[in-house]
A and B are shown apart, each in its own frame.
Chain A
Amino acid sequence: MMKSLRCFLLVVVHFAVVVAAVAQHDHTLLMAKVEKAVDDTSKGRLLQEAALQVLDSDPVLSADYAKKALSHMEKTGDPASIAGSHSVLRKIYLTGSNTAMALYHAEKMLDFFKESGNKNMVAKASFQVGTIQFQRADYSAALKSYLESLRLYEKLEDKFQQGIVSNAIGTIYTELNDFRNAHDFLTRSQQLARDINDSIGIAILYTDLGILYSHQQKHEEAIASFRKGMQMMEVLHDTSNLINAMNNLGVTYKKAGLYRQALDSYQECYRLMQQVYPADSTGFAKMNSNIGTVYISLKDYPMAEQYLHKAMEFTRTHPNVALAGELYNAYYELHKSKGDYKKALEYQLLNRAMADSMFNLQKSTLINELQVKYDAEKKDHEISKLSQQNKIKEAEVGKQRIVKNAFIAGFIMILLLAIVMFSRFKVKQKIQQQLEQKNNDLQLALENLKAAQTQLIQSEKMASLGQLTAGIAHEIKNPLNFINNFADISGELIGEYSEAKTGPEKSALMNDLSQNLRKISEHGKRADSIVKGMLSHSRMHAAEKSPTDINRLCEEFFSLAYHSMRANFPEFNCDLKKDLSQDIPKIHVIEQDISRVLLNIVSNAFYAVKEKARKLNGEGSSYKPEVRISTGMHAREITVSIYDNGMGIPEGIREKIYNPFFTTKPTGEGTGLGLSLSFDIIKAHGGTITLESRAGEFTIFTILLPTGEI
């Protein structure tokens, strides 16, 4: 088996070498003939032959020969020969996907046929021009050319060609989402195919109608149409059209959410491609990308990654901007579905960058095309000028006429230049407009994003506020208990004082009274600070920096977070330890922002120990939840460390914890914005947050804030 395969390969390689040698040989022979040929017509014909021969192996040389052929043909002045040269050039540029130049030559051909009055050829050339315009996504121009072609074929009563042109028109209308016209033309085309018993035509039309239905979101009709066409194609052994239908069937299944069926279609398609186009590596890469995205929808991420990886490998060796963009998008979806938002974001950025470079590429291609076109026209002109000069010499016309001709030539040159400059200016203007449009779009997107962000921050504020309110409402009852009762007692004590007889009795009562008043004032202040904490938390504006005692904030929010936890989970308890350094200076910060950070991190710490206690509950464990907050100075920065001996943060998710919407809490318990906001706030203050953790054992968040002193 292995041996026979190797033999086969050897034969193939040998055969290829022979073919190349033959081509090389023929080509040298041809060039020798060109040298020997006497008249321009033979030289042109031989050069055209040479051009077509080297087209596959050396497209650049091929174009070069064809251009030379054209200049020879132009010297002969025979319009048919010139048109033939344009036809060859059109073919060469189409092979090289240089649609701008292909269009230029196709239009030249069309002009020639119009001149000569051959209606059949005008119809054909119009169709060719339309097809190139369609490839260039210039749909309105393509439509115009196709309609012109159709009108002529109708006059010529050529039903076969009418069917083909109608089909093309229907496809354009589908692209333009003009479904009524698309349906009209496609069904008309299919009817024409039926009239002349063109089975392949009928089958292809089922595919095109299917694509139309798919665009219209009529998935069931689309699938039925594809299937009808595919049945016919199988009977007709038309595998290439079958592959196309099968691929579109897969696309429709995916759109309809029938992922298993989509997968089956794509895989069958892949199998057929291996039979018919084993060398079409671009096709396989696209199919791998398709299959990969279906696996994402099926949530089979390892398979998705495997297929996307294959496609990605291909783009590394064969740069393909469109496919790479698709793949980045697929990877973005993949990582988003997996919950890996950081990677998702990376791919989204890559995709964005790709879109930008595609836009730039289009822009530079456009400019290049114009440049090439301009050069070609200039060359054409020089050639005609030279031949004209030759003729002048031969005829020995007077000097005056040369001057006149030169003047005309110069004038034409200037006119031509002006036209080219004007069209370049127009294109520039168009690009400018496109850029402006894009800018506006981006500006709008940015504004929308900002609005969404404000809204999210607001909802995060409200969420944490709601979480706190319960704690605060209860917490305020503790000082209230003392205020009410000490006030009551004091009233009673005054009554007793007026009835008291002895001095020591009176002074004891007086002592109690003054102590009570002190207690009332103390607990009043405590209640006040609790309410202040709540207010500062909900305040939306007035984000001004002011000298702030970080220790005070730590104490306030440590206790607030604790009590909020207790309010929500009465069972919860925990050892609280505070180790606040008295050496730290007041620093300029936005108090409510820093409060929010402390509240977030401390709340997370409480949550972590609560979860660990809940997990170990019933296992007879001697786990003692502990949360510590400490402050200190480190170089010229204030450090705030929050330690908990809770669940810890597994290594795998440490990088994600600052990502917006990343949360390990059950749905509804965390917004996933807390740490993300905290990170932004500390960054905005010129500080840093660092994390140290061991899964299942502990977590330490350390905030560093610059004192601003030098």
Chain B
Amino acid sequence: MTLAVPAATSRWSIRDAVGRALLALGEADPDVVVLTADVARSTRTAWFASRFPRRFVNIGISEQDMVDFAAGLALAGKKPYAAAFAMFMMRAWEQIRNTVDRMNLDVKLIATHSGFSDHGDGASHQSLEDIALMRVLHNMTVVVPADPPQAYKAVLAVHDQVRGPAYIRIGRDYSPVVTDPEEEYRLGRLEQLREGSDLAIVSAGPVIAQALEAAEILEREKGLSAAVFNLHTVKPLDEWGLARVAQRYGRIVVVEEHFPRGGVFGAVAETVVRLHPVPVYPVAATGYGHSARSVMDLYRAQGLDAEGIAVRVARAVEG
């Protein structure tokens, strides 16, 4: 299945892009069924619901039930997409592990509002552990797209190429375009977004826009030339791509909207230590978040804005 990527993706938010991608899948594949847990409007699955009402079920505020309902659909030959806030998808971790992942079912989990993207709702709604929880699962594919065009393409690519469970982690609104919308999406491949010579920054998700800006600051103010890589597929990881980065740059800083344990930092460190050991430093969430009027206020409070990242990267690599 090849579906054209609409030119407008660059103007959408990341959740809008995924909502549109589900619509496109609904048109192309009659087996696609979409579920949500009373967050149809927030997850943009309401668009699918109004176009394909029979193939949409709002399960109510019951994520565990939703995940196993999806498992039943997959067992019976359908291709379910279950959408909820990343934070509350974690509530169904045991259902994901014991039913979906253990039977390697074709269930796709769309986790929205991840990281600090749900700034206004505060710490109870901000997921800082989900990448860790999902990537430890044996069969699960974990994709963290960087921006709206990549999110749109990633959903289509996962639908086409992944037979088994996948976790697609997206944010809410904040998602500047950092990738080339024209470029083909390559699932599982480490993607370079900026050239550099002194160190490598590896990041995933919309916070990567801040990492790119931090690289400019480092160049300007510290004379440090940082290459920036987009690890949009956290599992399965592009191990040799990462090993080459370790070899070439000799030090890696991981920037992520997640706690510094088990997430992207964990994935990178586990791989590098095995294939080409070099120092790897985390620049991640420093604690639970807080309500904020904008995601930038939270990034600043957590040292994940461009300035904060630049300071933390310099401190890490300069000792």
Query: Is chain B a partner of chain A in the same complex?
Result: no
